[in-house]
Structure 1
Amino acid sequence: MRFPTNLWGSELPSLSLRIKESSRVGKWLDVLSHYREMQRYGVEPSDPSVYPLILKACLNLSSRYGKPMHAHLIKQGYDSFASIGNSIMDFYLKCGHLESALGAFHCMQNRDSISWNIIIYGHLNQRVVEEGLRWFNKARVARFEPNTSTLVLVIQACRSIGAYSEGLEVHGYMIKSGLCAIDSIQNSMLSMYVDIDLGSARKLFDEMSNKDVISWSVMIEGYLKSEEAEIGLKLFRVMVSEDGIQPDGVTAASVLKACGRLKDIHMGKLVHGVVIRRGDNDDLFIGNSLIDMYSKCKDVGSAYQVYREMSRKNNVSWNSILSGFVLNERYSEALWLFNSMAEEGVEVDEVTLVNFLQICKYFVHPSQCKSVHCVIIRQEYESNDLVINSLIDAYLKCNLVDLAWNLFNGLKGRDVVSWSAMIAGLAYCGKPDEAVRVFSEMSKTQEKPTVITIINLLEACSVSAELRRSKWAHGVAIRRDMAADVAVATAIVDMYSKCGAIDTSRKVFDKMPQKNVVSWSAMVAAYGMNGLPREALALLPEMKLQGLKPNSVTTLSALSACSHGGLIDEGFTFLKSMVNEYGIVPVLEHYSCVIDMLGRAGKLDIAMELINQIPDGLKVGASAWGAFLSACRSYGNSELGAGALSHVLELEPKNSAGYLLGSSMYAAEGLWENAMRMRRLVKERGLKVSAGYSLVHVGNRACRFVAGDCSYPGSQEINIMVEQLHSCMNIEEGIHFGVLEC
Structure 2
Amino acid sequence: MRFPANLWGSKLPSWSLRIKESYRVGKWLEVFSHYQEMKRYGVHPSDPSVFPPILKACLNLSPTHGKSVHAYLIKQGYQSFASTGNSIVDFYMKCGDLESALGAFDCMQNRDSVSWNIIIYGHLDQGVLKEGLRWFNKARVAAFAPNASTLVLVIQACRSIGAYHEGLEIHGYMIRSGLCAIDSVQNSLLSMYMVTDLMCARILFDEMCNKDVISWSVMIEGYVQSEEAEIGLKLFREMASEDGIQPDGVTTASVLKACARLEDIHMGKLVHGVVIRRGDNNDLFIGNSLIDMYSKCKDVDSAFQVYKEMSQKNIVSWNSIVSGFVLNEKYSEALLLFKLMGKEGVEVDEVTLMNFLQICKYFVYPSQCKSVHCIIIRRKYESNELVINSLIDAYAKCNLVDHAWKLFDGLKERDVVSWSTMVAGLAHCGKPDEAVGVFCEMSKTLEKPTGITIINLLEACSLSAELRRSKWAHGVAIRRGFAAEVAVATAIVDMYAKCGAIDTSRKVFDGMPQRNVLSWSAMVAAYGMNGLPREALALLPEMKLQGLKPNSVTTLSALSACSHGGLIEGGLSFLKSMVHEYGIVPGLEHYSCVIDMLGRAGKLDSAVELIDQIPDGLKAGASAWGAILSACRSHGNSELGAGALSHVLELEPMNSAGYLLGSSMYAAEGLWGSATRMRRLVKERGLRVSAGYSLVHVGNRAWRFLAGDCSNLRAPEIDIMVKQLHSCMNIDERIHSGVVEC
Q: Provide the C-alpha distance between the structure 2 equivalents of 1:726 and 1:645, rounded to a whole number of angstroms.
A: 27
Whether 1:407 aligns to 2:410 is no
1:360, 1:474 → 2: CA distance? 33
Matched with 2:66 is 63
Q: Tell me, yes or no, if the aligned pair for 1:246 and 1:274 is still in contact at 8 Å.
A: no
- Aligned-residue offset at 1:684: 5.0
Evaluate the alpha carbon distance shift between residue 131 and residue 88 of structure 1 in structure 2; reply closer, same or farther with a 3 A threshold.
Answer: same
Contact 1:70–1:88 (CA<8 Å) still a contact in 2? Answer: no
What is the distance in 2 between the residues matched to 1:129 and 1:702? 62
Does the Cα contact within 8 Å between 1:423 and 1:435 map onto a contact in 2? yes
1:227 and 2:230 are equivalent in the alignment = no
Question: What secondary structure is seen at the aligned counterpart in 2 of 1:704?
Answer: strand
Aligned pairs for 1:678-693 within 5 A? 678=678, 681-682=681-682, 684-693=684-693
Partner residue in 2 for 1:332:
332
For 2:191, the aligned partner's letter is: S
* Contact 1:66–1:91 (8 Å) recurs in 2: no
Q: For residues 549 and 66 of structure 1, do their structure 2 counterparts lie closer, same or farther at Cα, with a shift above 3 Å needed?
A: farther
C-alpha deviation, 1:194, in angstroms: 1.8
> 1:302-701 maps to which residues of 2 (within 5 A)?
302-637=302-637, 640-665=640-665, 678=678, 681-682=681-682, 684-701=684-701
Query: Are the counterparts in 1 of residues 55 and 66 from structure 2 also a CA contact under 8 Å?
Result: no
Once the two structures are aligned, what percentage of the paired residues are identical? 82
Give the number of equivalent residue pairs: 725
Deviates more, 1:568-577 or 1:3-12: 3-12
- Equivalent position SS for 1:515: coil
Q: 1:186 to 1:440 in 2, by over 3 A?
A: closer
Aligned equivalent of 1:735: none
Q: Distance in 2 between matches of 1:578 and 1:629?
A: 27
Residues 319 and 132 of structure 1: CA distance in aligned 2, closer, same or farther (over 3 Å)? closer
Distance 1:616 1:716, change over 3 A: same
Q: Report the residue type matching 2:103 in the other structure.
A: S
Tell me: CA distance 1:600–1:217, structure 2 relative to 1, closer, same or farther (3 Å).
Answer: same
Match of 2:50 in 1: 50
Deviation, structure 1 residue 4:
4.4
CA distance in 2, matches of 1:725, 1:503: 23
Q: Counterpart in 2 of 1:99?
A: 102
> In structure 2, what is the Cα distance between the partners aligned to 1:413 and 1:86?
49
Aligned amino acid, residue 600 of structure 1: R
- Aligned partner of residue 261 in structure 2, secondary structure: helix
Shift of 1:248: 3.0
Query: Contact 1:98/1:123 (CA < 8 Å) preserved in 2?
Result: no
TM-score, scaled to structure 2: 0.86
**More displaced 10-residue stretch of structure 1: 447-456 or 218-227:** 447-456
User: Contact 1:123 / 1:129 at 8 angstroms: preserved in 2?
Assistant: yes
CA deviations on 1:240-274 (whole Å, 9 max, x unpaired) are 46657443333333433343333333333333333
CA deviations on 1:77-98 (whole Å, 9 max, x unpaired) are x83x554454455445445334
Mean CA deviation greater in 559-568 or 131-140? 131-140
Equivalent residue number for residue 734 of structure 1: none
Shift, 1:488, TM fit: 2.0
3-state DSSP class of the match of 1:540?
helix
State the distance in 1 between where 2:679 and 2:8 align: 112
Q: Which moved more, 1:112-121 or 1:478-487?
A: 112-121
Q: Label 1:421 to 1:130 Cα distance change in 2 as closer, same or farther (>3 A).
A: closer
Q: CA deviation at 1:498?
A: 0.7
Name the CA shift for 1:480/1:127 in 2 (closer, same or farther; >3 Å).
Answer: same
CA separation of 1:171 and 1:400: change in aligned 2, threshold 3 A: closer
Shift of 1:435: 1.8
CA distance 1:64–1:494, shift in 2 (3 Å): same
In the alignment, structure 1 residue 186 sits paired with structure 2 residue 198: no
Of 31-40 and 545-554, more deviation after overlay is shown by: 31-40
Higher mean C-alpha displacement, 494-503 vs 646-655:
646-655
- Structure 2 CA distance for aligned equivalents of residues 94 and 367 of structure 1: 52
Q: How far does residue 362 in structure 1 lie from its aligned partner after superposition?
A: 2.4
1:211 is matched with 211
Counterpart of 2:220 in 1: which secondary structure?
Answer: helix
Q: Matches of 1:50 and 1:722 in 2, distance apart?
A: 103
Unmatched 5+ stretches in structure 1: 732-742
- Higher mean alpha-carbon deviation, 722-731 vs 514-523, is at 722-731
The alpha-carbon deviation at position 312 of structure 1 amounts to 3.1
Q: Partners in 2 of 1:672 and 1:484 — Cα distance?
A: 56
- 1:276 corresponds to which letter in structure 2? I
Q: Return the offset for 1:226.
A: 1.0
Distance 2:724 2:49 in 1: 116
Whole-angstrom distance in 2 between the partners of 1:682 and 1:4: 104
Letter in 1 for 2:620: V
Which has the larger displacement, 653-662 or 124-133? Answer: 124-133
* Paired letter, 2:334: A
CA apart distance, 1:136 = 5.3
| CA distance 1:727–1:494, shift in 2 (3 Å) | closer
Q: How well do the aligned residues superpose, as a CA RMSD in angstroms?
A: 3.5
Per-residue deviation, 1:686: 4.6
Shift of 1:463: 0.9
Q: Tell me, yes or no, if the aligned pair for 1:467 and 1:499 is still in contact at 8 Å.
A: yes
List gaps (5 residues or longer) in structure 2. 732-742
Q: CA deviation at 1:144?
A: 5.5
Q: Is the 8 A contact 1:92 1:100 kept in 2?
A: no
Q: Distance in 2 between matches of 1:141 and 1:387?
A: 50
TM-score (norm. length: structure 1) = 0.86
In 2 relative to 1, CA 281–600 (structure 1 residues): closer, same or farther, beyond 3 Å? same
Give distance in 2, aligned partners of 1:728 and 1:329.
Answer: 44
For residue 737 of structure 2, what is the aligned residue in structure 1?
A: none
Q: Distance in 1 between matches of 2:134 and 2:719?
A: 90
Q: Give the aligned residue type for 2:503.
A: D
CA distance, structure 2, for counterparts of residue 507 and residue 669 of structure 1: 47
Within 2, Cα distance between the matches of 1:94 and 1:400? Answer: 54
Greater shift in the superposed pair: 241-250 or 274-283? 241-250
In the alignment, structure 1 residue 270 sits paired with structure 2 residue 270: yes
SS in 2 for 1:589: helix
Q: 1:221: how far off? A: 0.9
Structure 1 counterpart of 2:150: 150
Contact 1:58 1:65 survives alignment (8 Å): no
CA distance in 2, matches of 1:230, 1:728: 61
Contact 2:112–2:144 at 8 Å: present in 1 too? yes
User: What is aligned with 1:740?
Assistant: none
Query: Contact between 1:88 and 1:104, CA under 8 Å: does it hold in 2?
Result: no
- Would the alpha carbon gap of residues 730 and 701 (structure 1) be closer, same or farther in structure 2, given more than 3 Å must change? closer
Deviation by residue 1:703-727 (Cα, 9 ceiling, x = unmatched): 2344433333354565467667767
**Alpha-carbon distance, 1:223 to partner:** 0.8
Is the 8 Å Cα contact of residues 303 and 321 (structure 2) preserved in structure 1? yes
Larger mean Cα displacement after TM superposition, 474-483 or 341-350: 341-350
Distance 2:179 2:530 in 1: 74
CA–CA distance in structure 1, aligned partners of residues 676 and 82 of structure 2: 104
Q: Deviations over 1:1-26 (max 9, x none)?
A: 54443565444433332333233234
- After TM superposition, the structure 1 stretch with the greater mean CA deviation from structure 2, 126-135 or 153-162, is 126-135
Cα distance, 1:460 vs. partner? 1.1
Q: Is the Cα contact below 8 Å between 1:568 and 1:598 reproduced in 2?
A: yes
Distance 1:410 1:38 in 2: 68
Distance in 2 (CA, whole Å) between partners of 1:52 and 1:525 is 80
Quick one: distance in 2 between partners of 1:609 and 1:292? 43
2:711 corresponds to 1:711: yes
SS in structure 1 opposite 2:458? helix
One-letter amino acid of the counterpart of residue 647, structure 2: H
Between the aligned partners of 1:552 and 1:573, the Cα distance in structure 2 is: 16
Offset, 1:178: 5.8
